[in-house]
Amino acid sequence: MKIGYLRVSTEEQRPDRQIDALTPICHELHVEKLSATAKSRPVYERIINSLNSGDIFVIWDLDRAYRSAKDALNELDRLRERGIEIQIASIQVDTSTPHGMLIYTFISGLAEFERRLLSERTKQGLASARKRGQRLGPPCKMTDAQIRAAKQKIMSKEASVAQIAALNGVHPTTVTRSIHRLDERAKLQNRFN
């Protein structure tokens, strides 16, 4: 039997493309909606454990099932010991052939290389954004006007940090961090102007 495994990273993502591609070639399809980096993938684990000798585990693309070249190659070894092969539908690779094994091994390395490049580019982009003073993460809980007013009231001893926090519906730490960030941003702007 050919058993298809489809994965999308979030509930919002749609597996339609994978379903359309795998439906004509698989006897069964199983969809998992979670990140490849999740510690546990229950659908994947259930399928792998239920496969029998002679079955073919079908995936649309290597990154839908494996996190690294090592994962992909180790899993293939375990499956082949049980008489099970892997098929990658998007590039028509079948590990039951010598050519398929070569391409599977090569593609595993390329997929890991691509993931590492993406990770590196993301880190570089975040570092560049931080260097330019861009704030990353969730939106600020206080506006710049609120922060300036809070700073003025604290400096003139009109109100304490705790009072300002209560007035703005935030934690006192948020007030002090917001003032610090505003000051740092002002220093950066002065340096570049």
Active-site residue list:
9
Q: Using CA atoms, how far apart are residues 93 and 98, in angstroms rounded to an integer?
A: 10
Maximum Cα–Cα distance across the chain:
79
Q: Using CA atoms, how far apart are residues 156 and 60, in angstroms rounded to an integer?
A: 64
First to last CA, the chain: 67
| Dihedral sign computed on CA atoms, order 17, 40, 66, 112 | positive
Residue 9 CB contacts under 8 Å (≥ 6 apart), including other chains: 33, 34, 35, 36
Tokens at 58, concatenated:
């079908």
Q: Is 32 helix (H, G, I), strand (E, B) or coil?
A: strand
Strand blocks (E) in the chain? 2-8, 28-33, 56-59, 85-88, 93-94
